[in-house]
Structure 1
Amino acid sequence: MDIATRATTLLELHHTGSTLVLPNVWDAWSARVVADAGFTALSIGSHPLADSRGQGDKEDMSLDDALDGVRRICSAVPDVPVTADLESGYDTAAAELVERMLEAGAVGLNIEDTVHSEGRMRSAAEHADYIGAIRQAADSAGVDVVINARTDVFLKKDEFSDPVGEAITRLLACEEAGARCVYPVGVPDAASLQAVLDAVSGPVNVIANPRTGSAAGSLEDLQVMGVHRVTFGPKLQQELSSDLTALVAPWRQA
């Protein structure tokens, strides 16, 4: 399956009328395991990828580091569409970011509004401009790249008098700029999520824990609400830590 076909397939999976679950993988092994479990598309989380490399999240990796991981994962599952968390873009111009991401094999990307190198959040307009430039670069390449525009407003809610309203403003601006999906990470409850769903017109991504669900409820709850996409962020990898500990602990020498 060529890259343009993989991208179009991923885009179409966001519009089937059912909730698309994209487990976050971090290396070739985890990607193959999840694909073999029957998932038709995958997501790469920056946090678990960084952990797998012995590096930190929040762009402690360089773009070269991140894309090395992306390339290895995409090569391991060549017929499965993969979207990658590229944090805030690694201070990289949109055209270069899209070109290098496609070369690595990913057909979608998360872009957040926290600029880690500067320790600040982009304004709503600034973030939308970057999303728009990414969409323009993707369109110029002739690939239906799935841009998942993330806002960190709920992670920094004390900085805003109306976090729900601020998140909606930012997500609407990103939709207008060309995002294919929007991501209010850390949405605190079902009421806040419902407000976002009511306000935006396109798909919404929600983070969940594969054992315990999301802050807004279980997978079934999210399906009833009309959530289009669920990812796990670092939570799948983190949940496996206790399983690994339990598996090896009986073999530890006293």
Structure 2
Amino acid sequence: MTNDVLKARAEALLALHQPGNPVILPTVWDAWSAKLATDAGFAALTVGSHPLADSVGKSDREGMTFDDVLTRVAQITAAVDVPLSVDIESGYAEAPTRLIEGLLSVGAVGLNIEDTVHSEGGRLRSSSEHAQLVGALRAAADAAGVHVVVNARTDLFLRQDGDESDRVDRAIARLKEAAAAGADVLYPVGVHPPEVMRRLTAELPLPVNAIARPESADPASYGPLGVARISFGPFWQAALAERAREILARWI
């Protein structure tokens, strides 16, 4: 894929992020699920680390190597012709330049980067350390000539880190640092009450990514909360698995 094509896809992906009119990026894990989503009419996709790892018998939290991820992403981009973002967990202990060059080499134009360091016992990066990584990824993308869409994620809510009373404050401060370092989208991952999501979208300076359960959440409920991007994490794959178990149980 040429740099011009990659540039155009990255620009198209970024332009889809409109607070109040969220882009829905189905979270896929292989060429089959990607084709299902694009055939249904979705304009862009994201690859989730959890369903991706499950699909190849590996564990989430960097049970796959970065090369494993690239192999599967290449299969997806060969099968569909839409912008693709990839969850690269905490970076697989790879250098930012290697991460950006690897993603571009298989046709991906966006990434999620989280602040839990799986290669180091699951520790939480400090806010400044996470921001530095975001900045290094932005610099590597600039050097490659493609504005890779960087979705900076914090796991404070998933980890239930620290005291609940100031967790939203700490998440906002952490993500503001990532924004200043060059992120394009901010991802306070977790299923939040409406009042929390409204505060996050109101106080954060960039488009905000929300996670949704596709089989039960109301698609129309996210725009009024100011959300700009919706993804499914492992939930779409889990919903398909539940339906598959129901079908298979008829034959046991």
Q: Specify if TM > 0.5.
A: yes
Map residues 1-254 of structure 1 onto 2, 5 A cutoff: 2-15=5-18, 18-77=21-80, 79-118=81-120, 119-160=122-163, 162-213=166-217, 218-252=218-252
Unmatched runs of 5 consecutive residues or more in structure 2: none
- Code of the aligned partner of 1:28: A
Range with bigger deviation, 12-21 or 23-32: 12-21
- Code of the aligned partner of 1:69: R
Q: Deviation per CA, 1:199-230, whole angstroms, max 9, x where unpaired?
A: 112110000000122xxxx3222111121000
What's the CA shift for 1:158?
Answer: 4.2
Q: Deviation per CA, 1:115-157, whole angstroms, max 9, x where unpaired?
A: 0111200000000000011011111111121100000011122
Q: Deviation per CA, 1:174-213, whole angstroms, max 9, x where unpaired?
A: 1111111000001531222111111112110000000122
Whether the aligned pair in 1 keeps the contact of 2:20 and 2:223 (CA below 8 Å) is no
Unmatched runs of 5 consecutive residues or more in structure 1: none
CA distance in 1, matches of 2:99, 2:234: 23
Q: What is the alpha-carbon root mean square deviation over aligned residues?
A: 1.4
Range with bigger deviation, 243-252 or 21-30: 243-252
What's the CA shift for 1:17?
Answer: 5.7
- Tell me the SS of whatever aligns to 2:86: strand
Q: How many residues are aligned here?
A: 247
Distance change (3 Å), C-alpha of 1:23 and 1:163: same
Distance change (3 Å), C-alpha of 1:158 and 1:179: closer
Identity of aligned residues (%): 51
- Tell me the SS of whatever aligns to 1:162: helix
- Code of the aligned partner of 1:112: E
TM-score of the superposed pair, with normalisation by structure 2: 0.94
